[in-house]
């Protein structure tokens, strides 16, 4: 079986960088991929250590990190103290994987007794609620920044 580096495919690279364009307008953005040919038994902690070593080597200090999918887990591990990694990752897993055993039966009950449409509506409502709760602080901050930049400069005396 032939293994290929997906990041080298132009379509993949385009879709990965498309989400970074808004940040690139205000910041210098570095797209980081995992190192190729990972050894068996490599953990997320190892990947986070690789990224931390690269950041120290390139910048020498803390930098903002944005991660999606696996990168989100790496970014989370970079943000916490090493002694707390396992606890934080356990909480992360409970938050994202642990909701299925609770929500699944609830939605199944609603689908069985009301209709499948109501089950889909619950899923859509949950997604919209999570997006609103996660996005509201960012929208508020962006709105305040835009308001401040639109103010005329203070008159000089």
* Distance from chain centroid for Cα 138: 14
Q: What is the tens place of the pLDDT at every residue in 54-74?
A: 888 988 888 888 887 778 888
d(CA 78, CA 107): 35
User: If you average pLDDT over residues 21-36, what whole number do you get?
Assistant: 83
Integer-rounded Cα radius of gyration of the chain: 21
pLDDT at 116: 92
Residue 144, token pair as written in the block: 């305040």
pLDDT at 113: 93
pLDDT exceeds 70 at position 78: yes
d(CA 40, CA 51): 18
Q: At what angle do helices 85-97 and 70-79 cross, to 10 degrees?
A: 140
Confidence at 154, pLDDT banded by 50, 70, 90 = low
d(CA 62, CA 71): 17
d(CA 96, CA 70): 13
């Amino acid at each position: 079986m032939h293994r290929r580096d997906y990041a080298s495919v132009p379509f993949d690279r385009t879709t990965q960088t498309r989400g970074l364009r808004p940040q690139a307008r205000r910041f210098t953005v570095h797209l980081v991929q995992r190192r190729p040919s990972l050894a068996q038994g490599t953990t997320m902690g190892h990947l986070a250590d690789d990224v931390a070593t690269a950041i120290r080597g390139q910048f020498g200090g803390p930098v903002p990190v944005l991660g999606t999918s696996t990168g989100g887990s790496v970014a989370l591990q970079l943000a916490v103290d090493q002694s707390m990694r396992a606890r934080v990752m356990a909480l992360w897993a409970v938050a994202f994987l642990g909701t299925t055993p609770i929500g699944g039966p609830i939605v199944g009950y609603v689908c069985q007794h009301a209709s499948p449409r109501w089950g889909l509506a619950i899923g859509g409502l949950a997604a919209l609620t999570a997006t609103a709760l996660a996005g509201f602080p960012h929208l508020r901050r962006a709105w305040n920044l835009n308001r401040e930049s639109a103010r005329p400069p203070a008159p000089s005396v």
